[in-house]
């Protein structure tokens, strides 16, 4: 019988290089524990479903892109009540852009033409300012067409009836349908520039109106129509 060969001691295997030529630990930023570091279980148990559910609920409470702050609502003795208040992304410059476009002669004629407030009541006009704040454009880049694109989108989001939106086309282009495809192309680009965030809450509309409550367009209230 052949004698048993002495078992060779396995050499320490060095980390396998990654595709970039560096060890995987260096690429991933993993540090090897020192001699005094406690042993870490390489297969930790998965997080409980309750934790995941609480995390998802907390993520759902805050809308993407929204910022919340806590403000003091009431102070009574040593007790203080806090409430969460959303920080609006609408800046004074967006109101200035809107006011500038209100002076445009075509926009003026359109608002005078829409006497029944079918497509331009105060809430739909508030949404125009909200969309301006999300579009990521410089104030000087906003033109007349942006007003009508934003107003069309507001009607698209809030109104079930398609006829009022067609009224915007009728006013701008009459019976000429060749320009509508270009309008829809601009609408798509505008929505994409906003990061597809097209929903505007009633609370945000009221905050926008409260910035300058004396602005004449906030009197365009459907509930006051005869």
162-176 pLDDT, tens digit each: 887 888 998 999 888
Ramachandran area for residue 66 (φ above 0: left; ψ -120 to 50: alpha; else beta)? beta
For residue 86, the cross-strand partners are: 68
Q: What is the model's pLDDT at position 166?
A: 87
Q: What is the pLDDT of residues 7-25, one digit of tens each?
A: 444 444 444 444 444 333 3
pTM: 0.63
pLDDT of residue 122: 97
Confidence of residue 70 (pLDDT cuts 50, 70, 90): low
Query: Do 173 and 179 form a contact (C-beta atoms < 8 A)?
Result: yes
Cβ atoms of residues 222 and 117 within 8 Å: yes
| Residue 60 or 128, more confident | 128
d(CA 13, CA 48): 35
Is the distance from CB of 81 to CB of 74 less than 8 angstroms?
Answer: yes
Percent of the chain with pLDDT over 90: 50
Cβ-Cβ contacts under 8 Å for 71 (sequence gap 6 or more): 82, 83, 85
| Cα angle for residues 79, 84, 90 (degrees, 5° grid) | 140
């Amino acid at each position: 019988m052949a004698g048993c060969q002495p078992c060779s001691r396995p050499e320490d295997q060095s980390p396998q290089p990654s595709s970039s030529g560096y060890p995987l630990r260096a690429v991933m930023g993993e540090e090897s524990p020192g001699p005094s570091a406690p042993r870490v279980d390489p297969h930790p148990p998965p997080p409980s479903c309750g934790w995941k559910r609480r995390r998802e609920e907390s993520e759902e409470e805050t809308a993407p892109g929204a910022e919340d702050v806590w403000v003091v609502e009431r102070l009574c003795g040593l007790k203080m009540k806090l409430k969460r208040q959303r920080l609006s992304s609408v800046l004074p410059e967006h109101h200035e852009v809107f006011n500038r476009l209100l002076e445009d002669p075509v926009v003026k004629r359109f608002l005078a033409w829409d006497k029944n407030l079918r497509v331009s009541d105060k809430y739909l006009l508030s949404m125009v300012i909200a969309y301006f704040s999300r579009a990521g454009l410089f104030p000087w880049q906003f033109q007349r067409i942006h007003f009508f694109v934003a107003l069309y989108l507001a009607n698209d989001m809030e109104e079930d009836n398609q006829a009022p939106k067609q009224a915007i086309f009728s006013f701008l282009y009459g019976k000429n349908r060749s320009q509508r495809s270009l309008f829809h192309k601009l609408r798509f680009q505008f929505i994409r520039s906003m990061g597809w965030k097209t929903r505007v809450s009633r609370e945000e509309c009221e905050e926008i109106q409260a910035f300058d409550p004396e602005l004449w367009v906030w009197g365009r209230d459907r509930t006051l129509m005869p």
